[in-house]
Chain A
Amino acid sequence: MASVKPSSTTNPLENILPRILTEKLSVRYGDKEAVSEVSLRFFSNQIFALIGPSGCGKSTYLRALNRMNDFIPQVATTGKVLLDGEDIYDRRVDPVLVRRRVGMVFQKPNPFPKTIYENVAWGPKRADFQRSEIPDLVEESLERAALWEEVKDRLHQSAMGLSGGQQQRLCIARAIAMRPSVLLMDEPCSALDPIASGRIEELIQELKREYTIIMVTHNMQQAARTSDVTAFFLSGRLIETGPTKEFFTFPKQVETENYLTGKFG
């Protein structure tokens, strides 16, 4: 279990309670158990990396945090996921409201076939944000996603004309326009070239000042470079977690060491 001393931030009090945590979270499809009793805590203003070989359940775990698994037929989720102390899997909870607080960026950039402006404004409009505030919100989100300078003169052109890296930054802008508390990123760089990847990694470092970021990655070096805390998954179980530096230099479990040294996966 990660009970990490967080690095100094503006509001130390905020960091004593985890922003989001899971308690013995399990996810099964049909009779296959993809995630087995994983308990983790995620604190504000930190970047958490979830690593592991393909098929180890890290993406499924990530998607459980904003109830995206609900769309899979025959899915059964047990255990608790508490966002600011509230169980998001409670019967009375509307998953739509959860997803507005927990944003997600996907592996392959997936902007809507609309204008750049409309892409960022779409979410807030659907969630009934104040109409008058939306233009400023769009600018602010694009700035935070390090995209504003490049697109400010073509906000009303199609988003499909952007490069892969730009599109991914647009997707990040789109997600943060919802003012989420937590940002989930499912292998955000795997579909991008190294240069674009690097820019996104820099961006993620900037973003941790405002958000709690949980990132799934299959790239160990990226995890080592970017994150504050790392967790290693294998066959649906959480094997080990800890502050990144420690994790990579002195792994405690055999499996972790094997994975890190490339013996499998």
Chain B
Amino acid sequence: MSSFHHQKTSLFERFKAESLRLAGVFSLLFAFICLFMLLYQVGVQGWQYLSWQFLNGFPSRFPAQAGIKSAIYGTIWLMGFTALFSIPVGIMTGIYLEEYASQKSWVTKLIRVNIANLAGIPSIVYGLLGLAFFVRQIHLGRSILAGALTMSLLILPIVILTTIEALKAVQVSIRLAAYGVGATRRQVILYHLLPEAFPGIVTGIILGLSRAIGESAPLLLIGALSFVAFVPEGPLDGFTVLAIQIFDWVMRPQPAFHSLAAATIIVLLAFTLGMNSLAIWLRIKMNRGKQ
């Protein structure tokens, strides 16, 4: 028998080799099975309650009549204002840090470190800030505006960091060409860099907003209400969102409300997973394009 043949390797060796691969596969499988079971549980429990009446009705003490109209409207209002605040500020901060600021100055480094830290702060701390400042200090009350401003702060780091990444990824040659014809910084950014970096920035916005849709902790502190039987009409109105409605219903002991929560989750997940998948797909497409 040749001295290199596979049989020369002891069974124990081969067992050890396969173990690591199997352990890796099972770990991945575990994560995916959890995801699957979660979606299955949501689907099975919530499917029966999905109906037009459900989407178009208000919450009620009676599960059979409850709906999430107020939550949907509230979510849309909140997301609209959040986008309004966070997109411009986030993109411009990213532009400043990547294009204008001196990379060596300690101030710039401090700002960058600060943003990285802000990204890791629990959302409920943002809620506390929102409560103390937006709700109380400047008297916005338990309004959509207060909520939107708080959520904007929460997702700002995401938008900033992805904008920076997108700008970094723009090829040097484009910058050289643009500056080379004597364009000013503003012109280079506005007419050359931003269009190139646009897909990346959009990915960041989508990821940020999809995170905002799912976050409920800060809004609880702001005072998003649970039993809202009206549709908001202005930014200073009270409101509720899908995530809070889910929370409220899961908290109740009756299984019927759990099923209502499941139905709401289906709606929420449709939003979140849809947005996340779009962002991931966009990012893969961009990376492939760059190669």
Decide if A and B touch, CB cutoff 8 A. yes
Question: CA of A79 to CA of B7 in the docked complex: distance in angstroms?
Answer: 24
Q: Please pick, from B4, B6, B7, the residue contacting A86 in the complex, using a CB distance under 8 A.
A: B4
The size bracket of the interface on A is: 10 to 19
Task: Looking at the assembled complex, report how far the CB atom of B66 sits from the nearest CB atom of chain A, in whole angstroms.
Answer: 56
Pick the interface stretch among A28-36, A91-99, A192-200.
Answer: A91-99
Contacts of A98 in B (CB 8 A): 4
> How many whole Å from B115's CB to the nearest CB in chain A?
31
* Chain A: CB-nearest residue to B10: A128
What is the bound-complex CA distance between A88 and B6, given in angstroms?
A: 12
- Chain B residues numbered 1-28 whose CB sits less than 8 Å from any CB in chain A: 2-9
Chain A residues with CB under 8 Å of B9's CB are 94, 96-97
- In the complex, number of A-B residue pairs with CB atoms less than 8 Å apart: 30
A90 contacts B by Cβ under 8 Å = yes
CB pair B8 A94 closer than 8 Å: yes
Contact partners of B4 in chain A: CB under 8 A: 83, 86, 88, 90, 93-94, 97-98, 101
Tally B residues with Cβ within 8 Å of A. Answer: 8
Q: List A contacts of B5 (CB < 8 A).
A: 90, 92-94, 97
How far is it, in angstroms, between the C-alpha of A242 and the C-alpha of B3 when the chains are bound? 31
- What's the Cα separation between A104 and B8 when bound, in Å? 22
- In residues 109-156 of chain B, which contact A (Cβ within 8 Å)? none
Mask of A73-111 contacts with B, CB within 8 angstroms, 1/0 = 000000000010010101011101110010000000000
Tell me which residues across on chain B come within 8 A of A94, comparing CB atoms.
Answer: 4-6, 8-9
In the assembled complex, the CB of A147 is this many whole angstroms from the nearest CB of chain B, namely 30
A101 to chain B, nearest CB (A): 8
Chain B: minimal CB distance from A176 (Å): 19
Distance between Cα atoms of A98 and B3 in the complex (Å): 9
Residues of B within 8 A of A92 (CB): 2, 5-7
Shortest distance between the CB of B225 and any CB in chain A (Å): 57
CB distance from A179 to the nearest CB of B (A): 13
**Contact partners of A83 in chain B: CB under 8 A:** 4
How many Å lie between the Cα of A90 and that of B8 in the bound state?
14
Complex: chain B residue closest to A96, CB-CB: B9
A37 to B74, CA, bound (A): 72
**Distance of B3 from chain A, by nearest CB (Å):** 7
User: In the docked arrangement, what's the CA distance between A93 and B2, Å?
Assistant: 8
- Report the minimum CB–CB distance from A97 to chain B (whole Å): 4
Q: Which residues of B contact A (CB under 8 A)?
A: 2-9
A positions within 8 Å CB-CB of B: 83, 86, 88, 90, 92-94, 96-98, 101
Chain A to chain B contacts (Cβ below 8 Å), 10 pairs = A83-B4, A86-B2, A92-B2, A93-B2, A94-B4, A94-B9, A97-B8, A97-B9, A98-B4, A101-B4
